[in-house]
Structure 1
Amino acid sequence: MKKLSAAVLAAAAIAMTFTGTAQAEYNPKCKTGVTQIGSTTYLKKGAETVASLKQFKGCNKNWAYVYVWDSWMAKHKETFHIRVAIWTSTGSEAADYAGVDGRTQEAWSNGANTLKYCTYAAGNVFSQNYSVHDSTDVRC
């Protein structure tokens, strides 16, 4: 009976791992919470993933977010920089822009009052040795 109970508990734990609801990243600039819109874009250097780039909505704003992967940070010890922005699909400049310097693992934009526009998030992670950048899909 104990073996069966342990097996059932192990199976339940595995099932929760694969079917549990993912929690959104915590945005310190939007205390009521944010919801991801659109799909995640992966910033890559060759076959290696450097960071994830996402767009969120919350607090009546659009937000861009970059998270540098642990595996990249473990292999690359140099100082790097993150730049993140929200762009409107018709704009010629970023509606919202922010950046962090030094081995900081994540960056949030400042929040753009662009919920009534089609927008996308753009992100860049760079150092003296590399630069990777991309953008998410446009969300209206």
Structure 2
Amino acid sequence: MSILKKIAAVTALAVPMLVAIPATAQASTPSGCSSVTQIGSTAYLNVGGETMASVKQYKGCGKNYSYLYVWQSYRSAHSDWDACAAIVTNGGHSVQDPQCGHNEVELWSLGADTLSQCTQALGWNGNDGMPYPGDIAVKTDERC
């Protein structure tokens, strides 16, 4: 077999392998802010014995953000869900800048001007600007 045929054969085998390598996922950022950093722990929203979503707190562009990501396993088992994300202050009692969505995979709260306060990210399975009785909510650890 000539050297050119060997190179062609190796190349033919290698190209499909290169195409099959998945690209690195690009992390999203909140609207209007291209650079954020996670602060504190990740909390997990468990609904009906299943992990529905992860909730994280971020800071960037002079604001705090809550980020909620609905897990693939939950999305695969449910065709319909509501979720909200917000920053909370005052020991978790004051909801700041919530954002809610229906069947959204990820949600960023609106940016809260709370960097000088103790804050937590809040996520819940509701569809209104604050959790109501019957909604399941989770908060990250408090960051000051």
Q: 2:121 maps to which residue?
A: 121
TM-score (ref. length: structure 2):
0.70
Matches within 5 A, 1:52-91: 52-77=54-79, 79-90=80-91
Q: 1:133 maps to which residue?
A: 137
Distance across 2 between alignment mates of 1:33 and 1:138: 21
- Please, which runs of 5 or more residues in structure 2 have no aligned partner? 1-24, 128-133
Secondary structure class of the residue paired with 2:94: coil
Following TM superposition, by how much is the alpha carbon of 1:37 offset from its aligned partner in structure 2, in angstroms?
Answer: 0.3
Following TM superposition, by how much is the alpha carbon of 1:88 offset from its aligned partner in structure 2, in angstroms?
Answer: 1.1
Q: 1:97 maps to which residue?
A: 98
TM-score (ref. length: structure 1):
0.72
For the pair shown, the structure with the greater C-alpha radius of gyration is 2
Following TM superposition, by how much is the alpha carbon of 1:35 offset from its aligned partner in structure 2, in angstroms?
Answer: 0.3
Distance across 2 between alignment mates of 1:125 and 1:46: 11
Distance across 1 between alignment mates of 2:43 and 2:92: 21
Q: 1:51 maps to which residue?
A: 53
Structure 1's 25 and 76: CA in aligned 2 closer, same or farther, altered over 3 A?
A: same
Amino acid at match of 1:66: L
Distance across 1 between alignment mates of 2:63 and 2:26: 16
Distance across 1 between alignment mates of 2:101 and 2:30: 15
Distance across 1 between alignment mates of 2:40 and 2:26: 13
Following TM superposition, by how much is the alpha carbon of 1:66 offset from its aligned partner in structure 2, in angstroms?
Answer: 0.5
Q: 2:28 maps to which residue?
A: 26
Structure 1's 48 and 122: CA in aligned 2 closer, same or farther, altered over 3 A?
A: same
Contact 2:82 2:100 in 1 (8 A): yes
Secondary structure class of the residue paired with 1:96: strand
Query: What is the CA deviation profile of residues 28-73 of structure 1, one whole-angstrom value per residue up to 9, with x for unaligned ones?
Result: 4143310000000011135421100000000100000100000110
Amino acid at match of 2:124: N
